[in-house]
Structure formats: structure tokens, C-alpha cells
Amino acid sequence: MKKVLIIMASIMLCGVVHANLVVNGSFENGTVGVYAGTDLPKSDSAIPGWRIYDTTFAAVTYELVSDALEATDGNNYVKITSTTTAQGPDSALDITQNGLGSVALSTGVNYTVSFDAKWVAGTDNNLALSIRTFDGNTIVEKLVTEGLSLTSDWATYSYEVTPTLLEDGGAEPNFYIGFRPKGANMLDETFYIDNVQVIPEPATMGLVGIAGIALFGMRRFLSK
């Protein structure tokens, strides 16, 4: 029995290495084209796993671009162009935490959240980044809120996060990440996003798995 449990634990440790949890994180699935104003698609329809949200009335446009020479992973990336400096409106490319992009994160597990981005044009340079966990449409925990000044070359931005709060009903919360051309106001800028990843740390993920196996083994032992 001990040998079986050890083998199972080893398999679990191997299985979590380099496993990106984000659905369509490199935007390889989707309909290439420009989306703005009344042309904004519903969640998951243009880019599976993602939503394009906008209340600026076409002052912000989104484009799924296919260009293998420019993309950092695969052929596609997302281009976000904002031409407004208005206060009040909101606009974002964000994961559909309740749709195809739904990914539950385990509390107590360390995750590396990363993405590639570059600034292309505009008078401003601020990518508003939000990394959170959600229960439906309710925020459970704010993990990262940051305004990034991007470089004019592709760069990888990486964050270590550890969710600590469960949903009200006790379930594991869903992962959320959102990208906005925004500071206090909407900004005049163009930037690219690609290769969004969420990777669990093998050590902590393995410990969670081993704890589950140990509990299973103990229950079997006590039931004899």
C-alpha cells in the first residue's frame, strides 16, 4: 500500500510541471479581426476563454492579429488601441472566469502568473493589470493590482501569487486576469498582449496532492 501511494504521489508531482492552466492563453483559437463599439463580441465568441469589454463607445479597439513573426508564442496576439483620455469609461481584455476561461485555483498553492506585453504607440504608457479570484461575479481576493510602464520590445511580466480565500460556499475560487489601457482615466496608447500563463508550483501542488493521498490511505486503514 505504501509503495502504491508513493508512486501515485510521484505521478502527481510530474504531472503538474509546466502545466499552463489558462485556456487559450496564446490566443491561437479565435476569429482574426478588429472589434470595437457595436462590433464587440460576447464573451468567448471571438476569442474562446476571453472577453472584450468596453464602455468607451469605440474609443478603444481590440484586434486579434495573426503574425507569427510578431507573436511570442504561436501565430496570434491581441492588439489593444485606446484613443481616449476620458474619465469614467472602462475597457478591458479579460478572462471569462465564468465561461470557457474558467479555471479554479487551489488555496495555499503558489502559482506563477505571467504574460508577454509591449508598448507600441501613443502619448501614454500604462497597462493596468488586475489579477484576482472570483466567486461568480463577486471578487474573492485581489492578488495583484498594478500599473505597468511597458517597454517598446516584448517583455515577460511574472508574478507569484498564492490564493488564501475560498468562495462563500467553500469551493475553490476562479482565476481572473484583466488588461486595461487605463490609469485614473482611460489613456491614449497601443500595446500588444500574448502568452498568458498560470502555472502551479510543483512543490506546493504536490504537497496538496500528497496530503489528499495520505488522507485517502488513512481512511482505508481505519476502515479495515
Cβ 33 vs Cβ 64: under 8 Å: yes
- Assess if residue 220 is contained within a domain: no
Alpha-helical (H) ranges within the chain are 2-15, 202-223
Cβ 133 vs Cβ 145: under 8 Å: no
The pTM of this model reads 0.84
Q: Per-residue confidence at 37, pLDDT binned at 50, 70, 90?
A: confident
Measured CA to CA, the distance from residue 210 to residue 78 in angstroms comes to 39
- Assess if residue 205 is contained within a domain: no
Please report, for the domain that includes residue 184, its CATH number.
2.60.120.260
Question: What domain count does the chain have?
Answer: 1
- Assess if residue 25 is contained within a domain: yes
Query: Does the pLDDT at position 146 exceed 90?
Result: yes
Average pLDDT over residues 68-81: 98
- Assess if residue 88 is contained within a domain: yes
* Residues 168-211 pLDDT 10s: 999 999 999 999 999 989 999 999 999 999 999 986 555 545 54
- Assess if residue 218 is contained within a domain: no
- Take residue 22 and report the three cell numbers written for it: 489558462
Q: Per-residue confidence at 216, pLDDT binned at 50, 70, 90?
A: very low
Question: 50 lies in which domain range?
Answer: 20-200
Coil/strand/helix, residue 123:
coil
